[in-house]
Amino acid sequence: MIAADTSTWIAFLEGAHGDDTDMLDKALENRLVLMVPAVLSELLSDPKLPSGIAKMFSEIPLIEVESGYWERVSILRSKVLARHRKARLGDALVAQSCIDRGVALLTRDRDFRAFVQAAGLTLVLDSE
């Protein structure tokens, strides 16, 4: 199972080519994708999102937010910030959801590398 960040979803929906979009396409075909709640919120916030795409998102199993999630997000973000790295709240929400579920994240956003170093987030296509 994998999860995809907003950056990969947007590239996928725009028809962009890349290892991440190819992998997302195959994972969707094989029903191996979980949706991160924060990513779903970002994607559904697009007022121009076609209803068919919104329906597709609703068919992807959602990662459940478990007890203590918000505290774990805060601790995770604090660890990254203590290393003097960028730690946007939205990124911390995505990273913690993946860490909690033990799911690798597919993303184009290099900022997630800070969460790998601080807390062991697994990235699917990390070149480092």
Domain spans of the chain, in order of start = 2-119
pLDDT of 34 > 70? The answer is yes
Contact between 9 and 43 under an 8 Å Cβ cutoff? The reply is: yes
117 in Cβ contact with 81 (< 8 Å): no
The predicted structure's pLDDT at residue 28: 97
Report percent pLDDT > 70 for the chain. 98
* pLDDT 10s digits, 80-128: 999 999 999 999 999 999 999 999 999 999 999 999 988 889 999 765 4
Domain 2-119 has CATH 3.40.50.1010: yes
Tell me, what's the pLDDT at 128?
46
The phi, psi pair for 29, rounded to 5°, reads -60, -40
- Average predicted confidence (pLDDT) for the chain: 95
pLDDT of residue 75 exceeding 60: yes
